[in-house]
Every structure is written in C-alpha cells, then in structure tokens.
Amino acid sequence: GQQLNQSPQSMFIQEGEDVSMNCTSSSIFNTWLWYKQDPGEGPVLLIALYKAGELTSNGRLTAQFGITRKDSFLNISASIPSDVGIYFCAGQPYSGAGSYQLTFGKGTKLSVIP
C-alpha cells in the first residue's frame, strides 16, 4: 500500500520562528490534507489541497500540493505557543469512484519554546 514519509519527526523552535514540515509519497495522491492533533483530541483539519501545484493559506499556515502529486509541505509562520501539537499529513489516493480513505504520515511533533 501507499507509504507516506513525514519529516521531521519532531522539532523544537523558539516562539516567533517559522516552521516547515513535509510529506513525500511513493505513489500519486489526488488530495493532500494537513491536520493538527492536540492531546486527547481527534485530528482537526487545517488545510485541504485538491490540485497539483495548489498553494493555499489559512492564517499563518501555508501548504502546497507538489507538482509531481507525490509530496506536500506545510509552513507555519511566526509560531506561537498554541501551535504546539502533532501535525499530520494525509493523502487521498484515487482508487475509483467512492474510494475516499486516507493514508496518514507518522506526524511531526512541534514544541514551541516561549
């Protein structure tokens, strides 16, 4: 099945710094999603990307759908303490009509030092 490689696994940054994380896949995806998970909660959707090359922003977050359809990155600008959490990328392969399952990366654990 598809494999998603997400990096880095963890990062410690100073408040105010920018953050970048990415995901690569061995196969093509039609949709890329980025989620954030806080302790004890389910993943919350941050950004959804539906077209190759698409660049989308949501406040301080920016994500891009790679041209090859095999990668995506997420940037967070001017980090703040509430950005702490685990960030997951997820890809939705095209496997036929009605096939919408997601494959998840292992996550990037972000720690922000005030």
Partner 1 sequence: DAGVIQSPRHEVTEMGQEVTLRCKPISGHNSLFWYRQTMMRGLELLIYFNNNVPIDDSGMPEDRFSAKMPNASFSTLKIQPSEPRDSAVYFCASSFGGRGYTFGSGTRLTVV
Minimum Å distance from CB 74 to partner 1? 16
The secondary structure of 61-106, three-state, reads EEEEECCCCCEEEEEECCCCHHHCEEEEEEEECCCCCCCCCCEECC
Minimum Å distance from CB 25 to partner 1? 15
Question: Residue 29 or residue 73: which is nearer to partner 1 going by CB?
Answer: 29
Minimum Å distance from CB 98 to partner 1? 5
Question: Residue 56 or residue 103: which is nearer to partner 1 going by CB?
Answer: 103
Question: Residue 82 or residue 99: which is nearer to partner 1 going by CB?
Answer: 99
Q: What angle do CA 20, 9, 67 make, to 5 degrees?
A: 45
Question: Residue 73 or residue 88: which is nearer to partner 1 going by CB?
Answer: 88
Contact 60, 10 (CB under 8 A): no
**Where do contacts with partner 1 occur on this chain (CB under 8 A)?**
31, 33, 35, 40-45, 48, 88, 90, 92, 98-107
Minimum Å distance from CB 15 to partner 1? 27
Whole-Å CA distances, 96 to 6, 51, 99: 25, 17, 6
